[in-house]
Amino acid sequence: MYWKRDRGYGNFVTKPASSETAVKSVSIPDSIKTLKVGNTYDLNVVVEPSNQRKLVKYTTDQTNVVSINSDGQVTAEAQGIATVKATVGNMSDTITINVEA
């Protein structure tokens, strides 16, 4: 805002504080996990800063082998091998899930 003789004129823009802090890293400490069909596994994902953990999105390349919910719980659906990816922004890490009968 511009001021002239105690009167404000012109335009000003306020930028709201961002609730998102830049993610520095995403990592899954385990690189491979073996499960039996029907078992579940809570994926441990470490995000820096930790307050961004809630932004993790999960995907799998083999939806017939494992499913994964939005909380990171992997369910072994059928025998096979799948890669699960945890992503926040442009950072990600993967884990291989080996499902046995």
Q: How high is the pLDDT of residue 15?
A: 46
d(CA 19, CA 49): 12
Asked if 96 and 76 count as a contact pair (C-beta separation under 8 A), the reply is no
Q: What is the maximum alpha-carbon separation in the chain? A: 81
* pLDDT the model gives residue 41: 97
- What number does CATH give the domain 20-100? 2.60.40.1080
- DSSP assignment letter at 91: E
pTM: 0.78
Tens digit of pLDDT for each residue in 31-79? 999 999 999 999 999 999 999 999 999 999 999 999 999 999 999 999 9
How far apart CA 77 and CA 66 sit, in angstroms, is 5
Q: What is the pLDDT of residue 61?
A: 98
Question: Is-contact 78 37, C-beta < 8 A?
Answer: yes
| CA atoms of 8 and 80, how far apart (whole Å) | 68
